[in-house]
């Protein structure tokens, strides 16, 4: 499943006519560096999809991930993008870190904005000896000025993956 998502994003970026992925991200990173706002990230919830997990697994998982993160974000009328790093307690009560790039597109033009987007980056987990693992994920969110609540969904199969990671971020 993860390989399919990765190939999907690579096809979109690499085969689009007149699109150079290196130039695109170079421009984005330059804009983040020069025009980005500092932000904090506080994990709120790691919800395990009850349709994909049995009661035994649910009963032993942590769904309240204590942690903290930093972001550098650019926001305009149509989108929000930036770089982030966050460390928190995972489902098995071990430290987990995530770092990467996030890009969300606003779906409406009101004070409260709904967004859809993606994040690409890396995750490091205890089970995998903290080796960085690629992380392409879909993201949804609700934004009010400098405050955002966003969720990334980790796809999976029975008793593995199928987790919605929800966090709040505030830009200074």
How far apart, in whole angstroms, are the C-alpha atoms of residue 153 and residue 96?
A: 16
Q: Which of 31, 91, 97, 103 is catalytic?
A: 91
**Cα 90 to chain center, whole Å?**
15
Using DSSP, state whether 54 is helix, strand or coil: coil
Handedness of CA 121, 125, 128, 129 (dihedral sign): positive
Q: Is 126 a catalytic residue?
A: no
- With a CB cutoff of 8 Å and minimum separation 6, the contacts of 135 are 98, 100, 119, 120, 121, 122, 123
Q: Which of 48, 115, 148, 169 is catalytic?
A: 48
DSSP-assigned beta bridge partners for residue 80? 75, 104
Q: Is 90 a catalytic residue?
A: yes
Q: Is 18 a catalytic residue?
A: no
Q: Which of 90, 104, 115, 148 is catalytic?
A: 90
Question: Which residues are known catalytic residues?
Answer: 48, 90-91
């Amino acid at each position: 499943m993860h390989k399919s998502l990765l190939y999907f994003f690579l096809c979109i970026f690499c085969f689009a006519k007149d699109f150079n992925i290196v130039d695109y991200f170079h421009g984005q990173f330059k804009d983040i560096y020069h025009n980005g706002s500092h932000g904090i990230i506080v994990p709120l919830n790691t919800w395990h999809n009850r349709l994909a997990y049995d009661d035994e697994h649910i009963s032993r998982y942590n769904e309240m991930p204590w942690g903290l993160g930093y972001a550098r974000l650019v926001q305009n009328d149509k989108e929000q993008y930036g770089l982030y790093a966050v460390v928190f307690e995972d489902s098995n009560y071990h430290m987990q870190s995530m770092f990467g790039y996030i890009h969300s597109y606003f779906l409406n033009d009101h004070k409260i904005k709904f967004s859809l987007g993606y994040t690409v980056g890396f995750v490091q987990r205890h089970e995998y000896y903290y080796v960085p693992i690629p992380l392409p994920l879909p993201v949804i969110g609700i934004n009010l000025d400098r405050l955002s609540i966003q969720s990334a969904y980790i796809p999976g199969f029975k008793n593995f993956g199928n987790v919605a990671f929800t966090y709040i971020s505030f830009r200074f």
